Amino acid sequence: MSNTNLLNETHDPALASWVESANLENCDFPIQNLPFASFKRKGSEEDFRAGVAIGDQVLDLKALFALNVYDGDVQMALAKCCHTQLNAFMSMGKHFWSALRHALSNGLSKGAELQAEFASCLIAQADVEYALPCQIGDYTDFYTSIHHATSVGSKFRPDNPLLPNYKWVPIGYHGRSSSIEISGSNFKRPKGQTKAPTATEPSFGPCKRLDYELEVGVFIGNGNDLGNPISIDNAEDHVFGICLFNDWSARDIQGWEYQPLGPFLSKSFASTISPWIVTSEALAPYRVQWTRDEADPQPLPYLESKHNRALGSLDLNLQVLIETEAMRNSSQPAVQLSQSNFKDSYWTVAQMVAHHTVNGCNLRPGDMFGSGTQSGPNPEEAGSMLELSNAGSEPIALPNGETRTFLEDGDCVIMKGWCKKAGAARIGFGEASATVLAAD
């Protein structure tokens, strides 16, 4: 199977919008993207509702529904987008997602018959605020970067960095969905128990080794019934889309608590996602081949398919930047800490879905997966400060003369993502950012 089997007129790189800002070079939200979010006007008493990004504008889907310019599947889909969050729309499935995407693409294209009606539903992104795009019922964090797993394992378990199950099983743990917040939601440095290597007893206090983790968030659309696994051949039909995800981590708390059952308070104090969900359909041009080293164990049959081999990976560039308090006070721009690519992931999204449900576990609309920290094969592609600073032993030098081993109070971490290649329109993900505040 090739990408061409997944492409349609909405992906045409020559397609342009009458919203001129959507046609600008390196715009995150051209007409080929059309991601979804939950928004309202800043400071207003309005209800949050679904919107789609186009250029520097938001298309208000509740307002578009009220105009009653559609019927059938499109109007049914718009009706579900009138809720404060997207779960009802996400539950409708691929047919309705695609029907609405095609209608929005047509209405926002140059020469559209409905231009006047669509124009009346636009609000500038500068004038809006965002909420979580959906109610996240359950959140599972995976561990899909073998480069990250090996690097971190060597620091926590020098004699046995990569456990033997890693190459057989998409490793994951059930995380805390209540502390996932939208970009811009700052948080206080967590407190907890830590134990220094030379100490005889643990102590309690603010985390000293606060870190970020560069991840991709995967949103489930229509789920499955309890006891009915999703096959790898059908897995992608259940994925509504993806976002950027920062799984903040307290490394010193983690080091003391994580054995034998894994992360707990070291992860549950804060996580940050970008507002916009880029749909699976929008990402079709960037699907690429997935491979497994011949020397490694090959996936068991329930994790193997021709389609997953041909197009299971996603060519998504991921970037982390930092803006320290000193940089902010002197109006210096944020600087890059690292850049990696989701296509280097050891396990694919389809394999995550298939494995998660193979025991009969039921997924529900709005459930979210974290991909695990996305580190690449080279040192500069590390997706966490734990790796970049070699567990704090090699300080990271910033251009203004500051150094960091882990995050300090006042640091703002910004994550960005984009897909770009010849013959396709560049699409972006916006950003996920938050600032570390001092502990109480």
CA atoms within 13 A on the CB side of 314: 27
Question: What contacts 117, CB < 8 A, 6 or more positions away?
Answer: 64, 67, 69, 107
Nearest of 102, 169, 95, 119 to residue 19 by alpha carbon: 119
* 128-131: strand order across its sheet: 122-124, 57-60, 49-54, 36-41, 128-131
Distance CA 70, CA 78 (A): 9
Tell me the backbone φ, ψ of residue 184, rounded to 5 degrees: 95, -10
Please check whether residue 366 is in contact with residue 219, taking contact to mean a CB–CB distance below 8 angstroms.
Answer: yes
What pairs with residue 433 in β-bridges? 414
412, 434 contact by CB (below 8 A):
yes
Catalytic residue among 11, 148, 238, 355: 148
**3-state SS assignment for residue 398:** coil
Burial 238-251 (b: 16+ CB within 10 A, else e): bbbbbbbbbbbbbb
Q: What is the CA radius of gyration of the chain?
A: 22
3-state secondary structure of 210: strand
**Cβ neighbourhood burial of 401 (10 Å; 0-12, 13-18, 19+):** exposed
Give the pair of three-digit tokens for residue 201.
């007893």
Q: What secondary structure letter does DSSP report for 183?
A: T
Per the annotation, the verdict on 11 as an active-site residue is: no
Amino acid residing at 413: V
3-state helix, strand, coil in the chain (%, to 5): 25, 25, 50
The CA-CA-CA angle for residues 205, 209, 212, to 5°, reads: 125
Strand (E) or helix (H) holding 240: strand 239-246
How far is 405 from 384, CA to CA, in rounded Å?
Answer: 11
CA angle 76, 78, 81 (to 5 degrees): 120
Residues annotated as part of the active site: 148
